[in-house]
Amino acid sequence: MPPTMRPTEFLSVDDRRREPRLPAEGEVRLFFDDGGPVIHGRLLDVSSNGFRAAHECPELRTGMELGFARGDCSGRARIMWNRTADGRWESGFFVVERT
C-alpha cells in the first residue's frame, strides 16, 4: 500500500496561508534574549498574527523566539521558516506576545 500524503504536501507555501497578508514597508528590529546585537530587517508583509522580513542574519533558525519592534507594535515572535531570496535572507515570524 503506498504511503498516504496529506493534501497540504501538494500545495505551495502561498496556498497554505491561514490569514491574508498585506504588503508592508519599514524597519523591524529583532533582539536576542542574551543581549546580542540588534538585527535590522525590512518588513515585506504583515498579517494579523505575523510578519515576513528580509535581513542579513543567516544565524536565525526556525523555532527561535526573538524580541521585535516595528512601527506599529512590539513583542516576541517565533521564526516559522527561513529562506534565501535575491541574495538576502527572509524569515516568516509568528507573533507569540505583543507588548
Query: What pLDDT score was predicted for residue 61?
Result: 96
Q: Tell me phi and psi for residue 42, to 5 degrees.
A: -120, 125
Residue 58 in any domain: the answer is: yes
- 7 lies in a domain? no
In a domain, residue 38? The reply is yes
Residue 17 covered by a domain: no
What grid cell was written down for 40?
A: 535590522
Instruction: Give me the half-sphere count of Cα atoms (radius 13 Å) on the Cβ side of residue 50.
Output: 16
Whether 57 is in a domain gets the answer yes
Q: How many domains does one find in the chain? A: 1
Higher pLDDT, 5 or 82: 82
Task: With H, G, I as helix, E, B as strand and everything else as coil, classify residue 18.
Answer: coil
Q: What is the pTM of this model?
A: 0.81
pLDDT at 1: 38
Residue 6 binned pLDDT confidence (cut-offs 50, 70, 90): very low
Q: What is the pLDDT of residues 11-65, one digit of tens each?
A: 455 546 678 899 999 999 999 998 889 999 999 999 999 999 999 999 999 999 9
